[in-house]
Chains A and B, each alone.
Chain A
Amino acid sequence: MSVDLLLDLQQEVRRLFIAGSAMAQGDMRLAKLVPQLKKLGESAPVINRLAEAAEGLMSAAREKSSEKLLELATLLSAVLHTLGKTETVGETQTIEGSAVTLTTDVSYRKLQPLLEALTTKGQGRLEQLWLAWEDRSFLDLRALPALCRGLDDSYGDVPDYIQEKLIPGFGRDVIPVLQNQLNLNGGKGDSRRLQLLHRLLGESMIELLLEAAVSGSIELRAAAIKLLGGYGEQEPFLLEQTSEKRQEVRLAAYYALARIGSDGAVERLYEAIRSKDRELAVAPVRQCVSTVLHERIIVQAEEDLERWLSSEGEDRIRAAQQLHIDLRCLEGADKRLTGVVYPLLRKLLLSKAFIVTETETIQEAAAELLLELDTPEGNRLAIELQHMHNSRFIGYSFRAAYKQLKPSEVFDRFAGDLTGGSHAAKELLRTLESIVSGQLQLLTGDVDKVVLEEAWDPRWGHVFADKDLTELVCSFTHRNEPRIADYLISKAKYGNSSWNDETMKQRVLLVLFRIRHKEAPQLLLDWLEKKAQRGFHYIDWNTRCLISSMPKSYVQRLRTFAERQLHVTVRGQILEFVETIEAAPEETNEESGTGIWEWIKNKMS
């Protein structure tokens, strides 16, 4: 049976389906096929039927043509379905198989969402990976190739998580998949594959690493070169790479050399920070395992300082730039270097000639380094700097003092500097605020947070009240003190109705409730009344906290207030609070104003 002839017929049938069977009458191309079909039909009756059907179609009237075309197509389709080829031509290769021991036992409802997350885009995919990690459902043979493909995902968190968490979970089973997928000319995903393979195979893949380092894409070269830092014998090759054209390659080579830390490596890194690569080399130099390099840089820095002091013009600018690089290289330096770094910093920070406007960034780098040392002598030097150089370093000085001295000593030393509008006073306030907000951030809880009582001198609160720093006063108020309370009450009463002021008032009221000030309930009621005049549409979280802190004695007044509210939801919510306060057990109410809030929160969760 000539399959080709039938395929030709199929083409014509297809053409007529697209063009419309109305065109079939007397179709020339179809007519050409009929005699051949008939000839074949002599030995195969089914072909004969095809020929007849084709003739029927050509001779059919327009309105009958579609019926005839469908008949022909049905018959032809049936014949062709019995002729499907199953043999493939070519040489067969056996499949080696692998030593992977994974099963395929994870069920559809667990595996499918994971595979979908790995093969599509959109949100919620990372969460799916977390879930798969949690119930170990990623440990399935079918997930393995998809997970390794996920290393190419464009949403960085996904490949990060796969690389760090999921793939290591497979152990050595992942090796054949990674090897198969690895493309030395690929991108970021392939550099991840290279790293993962190296983690599993170690030195046995050094040849591959070298190949990637020499002939891979830039991304792969950089990754491979960085990994070669684990092999001291690769030093000559790595040294060569530092003169590569591509910046990524040179950077990787610097990192690798920093890991090796041999004399040659140190020499090259030292050269690098004095060459046009100085910016590039800073980060690798900081990580260098050999402190010899840093010691040389310190010596160099002293020379640069001298050069800066003694030169002018371009030379002077270059010396300053170099000095800045030197100092940046020392960030995060080994503790063993403290002894040599300190004298350099001392020299810099005490030198009047150095403390001028043009070296400001360098001064800051030096002061930062000094605090980073965190040694008694370093901190003492920083404290000494308090009023030197026009109080330029007062912020650093305060930070050192806060670490080194007792709270009362800190207060005695610095409280005076906070008065006035000088640059130093502003700088000091900024430092103080940043320390406080750092401390408060570590605390969990609601809006109303306070600093640890023993960490600060109690007199600070008064200073802040005098300077009208409401936010700080709130964070420093631990108990009911007349002077502070008066200040807070004045804040709660006055001020305009801007959003800032309103938020501040809420905070102040929260503080007053916290220190159980007797006027707090009345103040809150006044504040609510005022708020209601402008229309009360929504009760925010803080206001909820406040209302639920009301004592039982105010229930009646609160109820009256609530019933006057026009907004149904607001009215309902306040009344609900009223009921809860009424229902609360007597002792919690008497004991503390916030006790009831705790109690309500318990009920709500």
Chain B
Amino acid sequence: MASITEAYVDSLAPNAGAMKNGRDLVKKNSFPLLCMTGDETLLFGECKGSGKEPYRCSVDFIQQGNPVFRCSCPSRQFPCKHTLGLLYAHVLGKPFEKSDIPPEIADKREKAVKREEKKNASAAGDGESPKRKVNKSALIKKINAQLEGLGILEKLVLQLVQSGLGGLDKKTIQVMEDQVKQLGNHYIPGAQAELRELVLIMSTEGDRESVYSRGIEQLIRLHALIRKGKSYLEQRAAQPELPMETESMLEEQLGHAWQLAELREYGRARPETELLQLSFISYTDKARGEFVDAGWWVDLREGTIHTTRNLRPFRAAKSIKEEDTVHAVIQTGELFVYPGAPNARVRWEKGEFRDVCEKDYRAVKALAAPSFADVIKRVKNGIKNPLADKNPVMLIAFQAVERIGDTYILRDTQGKQLPVTANIWAASLHSGSILPLLHGDDLKDQAALVMFRHDIESGRLAVQLMSIITDRRIIRLLY
């Protein structure tokens, strides 16, 4: 605990508002009592609130790297501003009295230890965790409902294509919206969201031509999802004991939310991995009704680019932690890899931070793909599949960033080009205005994290520059 910093406390806060509120409590001297135990593992104190009684808050560092927050306030935000304020008070150098551990916390610590022991004992007793049993008849019932849902969706799509997008009016859109709701009863939230996406596209105001282009793309996607989904589900209905599809993202696209236990069962947990975040952004997915905090990470050993996606449904957004840029290297003993390529989603339950060093940057550069031709081939091979991620992210090595007219391009050692034009994310961060401000050295012989996009109308494959990785630092062009 001795080494906690302001940045570390910031990283614990659920959102920017909580950071500010926590700091403000310290500024306003709202802590009449600040204490610390002799072994420096526990901070506790009292914080003035709106009620008569002050809130009693504490932060327990008995487990290194996994602080436990406790507070008597009724806030649903976790950790609350009072416990954060306590930490800010500590890092901002407010005096803490040495004091004995309060009995109720000693009590809670004891209980936690017992819980842990019990858990370990039960795990040791059973050996391997028991294989989850599947209720076959329930599964078949569910699959049938899913198939029925896909049937409804198919009928709708075919009807729409037959009558044409040009004839789509407000009334038809209304009917489609009702259908979206109806799909909610068929356990295919993924397909439901794809249909909602179509409705959203078609009800966009403005340039009709681009609306049609996006609408057609989405119809093709839906069609593919229906066809693949149907054949997969029919097969499973016939042979329910078959394993779930893990080669592609089909299960997730239909709407399955992978549980970590399932991923472990399918052998998708990897030991000892080190990840470094190269880029981060948060965006709103309207069709799915959630905020998405997306991070792109490089596996420091093999160079794969993974993504993390922290989903915050609108309704629960306030009480879910908003993720942020991570500068440190994450070390985890068990990395769960979701099905999907080329940027499979990953998660970890327990991880430790370690400071990033120049060796890591050099390692990232060494892992970057040296030939644009190879990368482009890989990308094209991927995106031709209608259900594939249309915006794959790659780590590439470039020889120079140059300009042709108003277009920036990346060039590799063989003289092959990649245009930097697509602004897929964050219009407020325009790489065109930032690139000329970089050092000449940063624009030569470095690695870059780029996101691809094929533009249907112009027939061009272009990239958005997400980060440039040099020997000494990461230049983040997103966040």
Contact = CB atoms under 8 A, between A and B. Distances in A.
Interface stretch (A104-112, A152-160, A220-228, A285-293): A104-112
9 contacts: A66-B159, A74-B220, A86-B372, A88-B407, A91-B404, A98-B437, A107-B10, A118-B428, A142-B476
A453 interface: no
Contacts of A100: 437-439
A78 to B, nearest CB: 4
B436 interface: yes
A174 to B, nearest CB: 10
Nearest to B436: A95
Interface of B: 10, 15-16, 19-20, 157-167, 212-213, 215-217, 219-220, 223-224, 280-282, 322, 324-325, 327, 372, 376, 380-381, 383-386, 400-405, 407-409, 411, 416-419, 427-430, 433-443, 454-456, 459-462, 473-477, 479
Contact of A141 (B324, B407, B437): B437
Nearest to A23: B164
A116 interface: yes
Contact of B164 (A19, A90, A109): A19
Contacts of A43: none
Interface in A5-42: 7, 13-14, 16-23
A187 interface: no
A97 B479 contact: no
A78 B223 CA distance: 14
A265 to B, nearest CB: 41
A70 interface: yes
Nearest to B293: A108
Given A18-B165, A92-B403, A97 B212 contact: no
Majority SS at the chain A contact face? helix
Contacts of A343: none
Contacts of B477: 104, 142
B383 A104 contact: no
A65 interface: yes
Contacts of A88: 404-405, 407, 409, 417, 419
Nearest to B418: A86
A92 to B, nearest CB: 4
Contact of A70 (B223, B419, B455, B460): B223
A84 B404 contact: no
B251 to A, nearest CB: 21
Which of A13, A23, A69 gathers the greatest number of chain B CB atoms within 10 Å?
Answer: A69
Interface of A: 3, 7, 13-14, 16-23, 62-63, 65-67, 69-70, 73-74, 77-100, 102-105, 107-113, 115-116, 118-119, 131, 141-142, 144-146, 176-177, 180
B161 A20 contact: yes
A131 B20 CA distance: 9
A21 B162 contact: yes
Contacts of A102: 437
Contacts of A116: 428
Given A90-B404, A98-B436, A146-B428, 14 more contacts: A13-B216, A14-B213, A65-B161, A65-B162, A66-B160, A66-B162, A74-B224, A80-B459, A84-B461, A85-B461, A88-B407, A109-B16, A112-B282, A116-B428
Given A22-B163, A115-B428, A78 B404 contact: no
Contacts of A20: 161-164, 166-167
Contacts of B439: 97-100
A89 B405 CA distance: 9
A74 B386 contact: yes
B164 A108 contact: no
B475 to A, nearest CB: 5
Contacts of B280: 108
A97 B443 contact: yes
A92 B415 CA distance: 11
B161 A66 contact: yes
Nearest to B282: A108
* 8 nearest A-B residue pairs (beta carbon): A20-B164, A84-B461, A97-B440, A108-B479, A66-B161, A107-B325, A145-B433, A90-B404
B461 A86 contact: yes
Nearest to B326: A107
A100 B475 CA distance: 13
A357 B153 CA distance: 89
A491 B461 CA distance: 85
A90 B272 CA distance: 48
B469 to A, nearest CB: 12
A104 B161 contact: no
A109 B19 contact: yes
A84 B454 CA distance: 6
Contacts of B400: 94
Which of A82, A86, A145 gathers the greatest number of chain B CB atoms within 10 Å?
Answer: A86
Contacts of A104: 474-477
B256 to A, nearest CB: 24
Nearest to A117: B428
A135 B327 CA distance: 18
Contacts of A7: 459
B477 to A, nearest CB: 7
B324 A107 contact: yes
Contacts of B215: 17
